[in-house]
Structure 1
Amino acid sequence: MTAHENADATPHGDALDKIDTGSAVVTDDGFENPGFPPHKPRQTDLDPQKEKRAERQVFGWFLLSMVGSVFAIVAYFAFPITESDLGSVRLNNLFLGLGLSLGLLGIGFGAVHWARQLMSGEEIAEDRHLTRGTEATRARAVEIFKLGDEESGFSRRSLIRNSLIAALALFPLPAVFMFRDIAPKEDAVEAIAHTMWEAGTRLALDPTGTPIKADDVTIGSAFHVIPFGMDNHAHDYLDQKALAVVLLMRLPAEDLNEVEGRRGWSYDGIVAYSKICTHVGCPVALYEQHTHHLLCPCHQSTFDVTNHAAVIFGPAARPLPQLPIAVDDEGYLVAQSDFTEPIGPSFWERQNHVNNDEHVQVLGQNTEDRA
């Protein structure tokens, strides 16, 4: 190596020794916190007249919300839905929707306009603390709450505050009227306490309406059953069907563990239970023929058919109501009576609608107290 080559190699070797070859990122590339931009006052901050005008505008939005909510209530009754008249449905939905939209949009636009024009517009930063609970922290929380009230003007601006409260109070009222109108005119509890099942009513297949003979029901089978003779053209056909639908199953008679008083409610291993789950009213439509369990697909409530459909799993509060059945002279399955207790979800009033003369408790449980 020549002297010239040696002179060139030495500086490059020293430079390579000073380079951190394990990282290609320059560590000194951060920037200082620029802070918040200077606060720019709004027109409402500088001009009291414009501030007052903005306050009236917010009040106007809240007033519009109140008008919309009242209009929705009036429209619901002024444009009633008439059966078989699609025009009445369109008018009812149109004006009801307009009223509800005004009620909601008025609150939304008013709140946004209030925040943008009248509440404090300065940006602030607050360090996040991992824990809280000391007296100083709680005192600081109260202080921040009061500061927020002061900056928003909630207590000071009585016109906006009162109109907001009125708008929020009126907005849910249309829903109250609509939901109340859904309920039947008669006593709601009485309406679901009885079904179309009567003594001698034949059991029929759903949806054909064909009567069922006992010989047609084989062991392990399950049928969806409705009362024979239901008029599917009646205006309340679906409502009556929803109350009366049952599940009919047949299992070996020796597998049934029937309590005294209910031994005559089945026929040669054939039993019938309400299809309506006692939790929230979903259809119990899954039958496991090997375990003789009925399963509700909504919330997995499981009922044991061998023990009067007692609840063995899930949130249901009581067994499925049993329909007493028998066989008539022609071999058709018939109901002995209606259900002796209300079908469907448990409710507090059901204890006053249990036929105490015919109802027999199951498994020593007081079903009325459980409901």
Structure 2
Amino acid sequence: MTDNGSNDPPATRVGRPRTRKRADRGQALQERPSTIRDVAAKAGVSVATVSRTLAGNYPVSDETRTRVMAAVESLHYVVNVHAKALSGKVAGPVALVLKDITGPSLAHVAAGVEQEAADRGRLSLVCATRDDPAREDDLVQLMREQHAAAVLLVGGAVLDKAYDRRMAGYAKALDAAGSRLVLVGRPALAEDLPVTVVDYDNHGGAFQAVSHLLANGHRRVLYLGGEAAVSSAGQRRTGYRDALRAHGADYAEELDTEGTYTRSSGFFRTRDALRAGVEFTALFAASDMVALGALAALREAGLDVPGDVSVVGFDDVPFATDLTPPLTTVRVPYEELGRTAVRLALEREESHSGNDHMVLGTQLIIRQSVRRLSW
């Protein structure tokens, strides 16, 4: 009679747990990231041989290379990029830090950054601060830890002592880590700081826009500017005033307004000016989004553009040509701004020299939203 109790052969009872342990080890190997030692063991070669094969800097036989790459693929092995970055064997990414990734202007800067970075074999990272200085601090520190080749801060800023201190801190910390701070669409800092600046001609663009209106016989030009403390807004306001002065037109305080670069701001400021009885024959909006709101307010008031009021914008975003009438505006080379920022930063990284400050030009694009007044 066979005994099914304690007299079972020892191998039967002991063998089952061993099988489970092997299965557990295999499952654990699948759950954790594979290491270079796992690859070496599976390929039957040394860790040094795997490293040389993946780096491509040392001759190995075709047979060995085939075994190593087959092991890499089957184990889903991923090279430790951070370790390679620390050793200088991998090019660091380009980090783009901006307030809002949904705005049409900033989106075009991001496109230029991505295109130039890709052309140079670099990964680009896009981060949004949502206008929170603390978040900006965290993102710059994170990019420093990620060994970014360059950190690009994009868009106008409120220029005060706190801003100067923060930017100086960024520039020095990134430089110490072998990275580079790049200010895009912002004015330069102190000359002794390690920073690259790529800006565009806000003043000249506004001067052209207002001069175009004045040359067409307009003397009362409502200005829908940005927030005075923001760098780009201040430069555009100066361009507006300088154009009035250059053409002998009187400056009127009630025509000079400030607000945000938003559609609603343009709408309400234009509506308020009309309701207050402010007289103007032309309107200069400091951004195309502001112009969009102004056009809506003029239509609501039953006014024709350009028959009753001429309108000029700033940016030349894609929808400017689709408005009724097509919008005369100042073209900012936003994609080129992004491309130039990456190019200057990376060329400096490679050669340790280069131009640290560049200002790109703007261009007045004349369409159908301005009417010439009869003299």
TM normalised by structure 2 equals 0.22
- In terms of fraction of residues, the more helix-rich structure is 2
* Structure possessing the higher relative contact order (Cα contacts under 8 Å, 6 or more residues apart): 2
Structure with larger Rg? 1
TM normalised by structure 1 equals 0.22
